[in-house]
Amino acid sequence: MKILRTPEEAFANLTDYPFEPNYVEIGGIRVHYIDENKASNKIVLMLHGEPTWSYLYRKMIPIVADSGYRVIAPDLVGFGKSDKLTDATAYSYQAHTDWITAFIQELDLKNITLVCQDWGGLIGLRVAAENEDRFKAIVAANTFLPIGAKPSEAFLAWQNYAQTTPVFNIGKIVSGGCVNRLSDAEIAAYNAPFPDDTYKVAARIFPVLVPTSPEDVAVAPNLKAWEVFKNWQKPFLTCFSDSDPITKGGDIYFQKMIPGTQRQAHTTIAQAGHFLQEDKGKEWAEKIVAFLKQNAI
């Protein structure tokens, strides 16, 4: 298995990313993570999705950490400062779930509040359901836990684009998922982990890994996770945005299915696209802190 590691100098001129790097090795793969306010035993685990990395949470991390929480934001394998595998078959829904589970176990994280968006939810929700004792609460935004429903034409087009386009400009893709377009420096920061296309295998394959038929191997464990969530009494907050057509309505489904969503201050964040961390990161962070305080977490 060939592993690529983005040179550190690629990250030398990032905009607004002052965090010290931390690394842990999982099965021979180096995983990078941000770890702020390590003195606290109240963990907020922020999981990014496709095709971003921990840079996505840069506006939110200081707000939550300064409110008394230890904020941990890993880069998924294949993204950010974490190692990249060049073999597309090495990536699967299960592999990503296993890597994050191993990451949590290696750091022995407990009292976790999961903050998740996009694939951060597909992975994080599975991990939370399978490791209930380590999690105290969940905040979900613009994400879902799929069980093989027929995808929309827009999503099928995205799958095809990710696999076939000769130019896969990750920074511009992220900018296109925001209401407020990113600056050139921010676009460059999202492109920084990927010096050339050989580093983009995970980013290209992720859309294909979403279960889009009942026969997908990820459906059975996701259905098992849903059985856990149907009895989940721990605090669960939804903070979806108003301008993300792909995940629209997912918050209502969570609220209908999960008991822990009852009596929580769910919100729709206005003027925010799929990547609400970029459009309204400060607002979302403040809502997370309010949720944690209101639930004495």
pLDDT tens string 170-222:
999 999 999 999 999 999 999 999 999 999 999 999 999 999 999 999 999 99
- Cα distance between residue 76 and residue 206, in whole Å: 11
Q: Which one of the listed residues 35, 83, 118, 279 is annotated catalytic?
A: 118
How high is the pLDDT of residue 13? 86
How high is the pLDDT of residue 202? 97
- Cα distance between residue 232 and residue 297, in whole Å: 16
How high is the pLDDT of residue 198? 96
Q: Which one of the listed residues 75, 83, 244, 251 is annotated catalytic?
A: 244
Q: Which one of the listed residues 32, 48, 96, 274 is annotated catalytic?
A: 274
State how far Cα 234 lies from the chain centre. 20
How high is the pLDDT of residue 153? 86
* Residue ranges covered by each domain of the chain: 3-294
How high is the pLDDT of residue 15? 84
- Cα distance between residue 191 and residue 279, in whole Å: 18
Radius of gyration in angstroms for the set of CA atoms belonging to the chain, rounded to a whole number: 18
How high is the pLDDT of residue 96? 98
Helix (H, G, I), strand (E, B) or coil at 165: coil
Residue ranges in the chain modelled with pLDDT below 70: none
pLDDT tens string 134-179:
999 999 999 999 999 888 888 888 999 999 999 999 999 999 999 9
244 is a catalytic site residue: yes
Neighbouring residues of 40: CB distance < 8 A, sequence distance ≥ 6: 68, 69, 70
pTM of the model: 0.97
Neighbouring residues of 153: CB distance < 8 A, sequence distance ≥ 6: none
What is the CATH architecture assignment of 3-294?
3-Layer(aba) Sandwich (3.40)
How high is the pLDDT of residue 91? 97
The average confidence (pLDDT) of the chain is 97
